[in-house]
Structure 1
């Protein structure tokens, strides 16, 4: 019996040899930089913050239209929990029964409506293109779709069927899309994630796990001037809880706690009755992070006259580079060399939908999108020269993985 690894290597060598013999390899096969950038611009100019369901669905409409124009078919899945729909794109004739390659992309962004008009308009300055969500991650999503369309236009079948899933809620933890991602991952041999490359062009072969919590504190309101002593401040209690939470950060273990959003009170002259904090936690893996998760969930009030309620938990398991991911990265690095790319990899503190697939044992490469910087900021941008080589790398991965 031939071993899976030997079979994988033989298939890869055959595919690479065929690609080298093909004179069309010298042509970009109808993927052109200016056309790709124009399509990316049209996607960026459709603002799609996660909590604007209609806007996200408009973006999903556009993705389906682009796929249809490129000769691909799609399926649409209704969102849940009030979030937008999800779209699965695949080649004609793919009944989704065969194990394949799952490409993961998200079309929701963090920028509020109006950012494209007032604060971060699409613009090109030298080799850089700016716009809300252009780096995280509409460019990467479009690059993968362009690669799939290129293969269909060439009439080239792939050893494994390629499917690209566009989700609507990655930026808030994939609450709606996670069941669908995991369902599709069960039929996947590989997962390729179009999150942006690290600023140096590195791709991601490991990610920390994430947890999210909401802490609600209830006190007793009172007039701050005439009855101050009768009040019990929810904000004071929350302030003490925040110090406890931040003190749980342990850099040696790779655990960080960040209280990133707080709300509370109704006026400066009122002892506040309520206060709320949103908490982010990062960890190398679930086993390492679980004791801290349990400490957070067990938080008790400093002031017994107040109530503290906390909800949440681990929402993305961590993963690290294993033998299967190492083999997949090595294959990608070999392909990248054809385009003058010296591919390097890193482990990232940020989470993505690749956390789900990797935790299920699916070899996963992440950060395959463009080079750039400024994710979630008003200087978010991509490096235009990175578009073509990384799009062609993506196409070659689809064409050779077996």
Structure 2
């Protein structure tokens, strides 16, 4: 941090409403790990493009990579309301870590929700607490928002399936230990897609060079090439042709993860802006005393609180077993748009310093943008919400 940084009061931790003593202890553990192990190295490692595999190993050993899944298979059996607040805390110190946990959780969804008892017993314990890290392989170079048009094929060959094709924009591409892969096993459209659990070191599976991104440089995003990758039928998840519905159910939950990460980034930007504004003096007093800055900070704080309330409300519906797809799309849309606004305003509060790498505001600004794109662009979220309100558009 630059020696030009003004002195200010340290931001207070977010006051959280956690339902049990266990969840409160869990949050204390997360905050301790975030403060001691992640925050001190976050800026330098992001700038260097360092993937923090050791951090994910620590999180796995601490039981934080399987929070949303059953204890029977090594998970934390925490409600989504708690899990998402953990994601927010992690994303606030380093989005690469928070979003990485969200993607890993997404990669476990198909097995946990649709696998057989035998499949779960064989694979889930290592995935949830054995140090493994997952990737979720749905998007392709020609199938992004139109995921039902994916072209990666899986052809039956005796007791195996042979996968051929390319997946794109894969978080943890090239470093993941396992991949949940959606591939076409039947005709065109959504009904010909099946899900598979593919080992990260499978023969014929390779990763392209990571994409050069404007933010989240420590999180590798790469194409994955499947060149005749052979997968036993015992690693098929769910029924043949059920893959697209499995993918959609995973994305509903994944969108809440992105919403929580967005609130974490926005909270970090707000904290930085408040700290700077209360420490920076102009015209003989802190700039936070000027009404223009006070109102800007108030609007930023309101966006953060509203986003948090929205994702938690959706999480409580999910925890209660109620439909939450519309609310998940709303949370993803609102929280990520709010993160973009709040981080933009944080740069403005810091003025020229906000545009320099001496302060983290510019990193938050660059990172917020990707959250409006991943797990379905915000234009797609508006389509999902409108479909729930008015039904599918007529042709």
Compute the TM-score of the two structures, normalised by the length of structure 1. 0.26
RCO comparison, higher one (Cα < 8 Å, 6+):
1
Q: Higher Cα Rg: structure 1 or 2?
A: 1
TM-score of the aligned structures, taking structure 2 as reference length: 0.26
More helix by share: 2
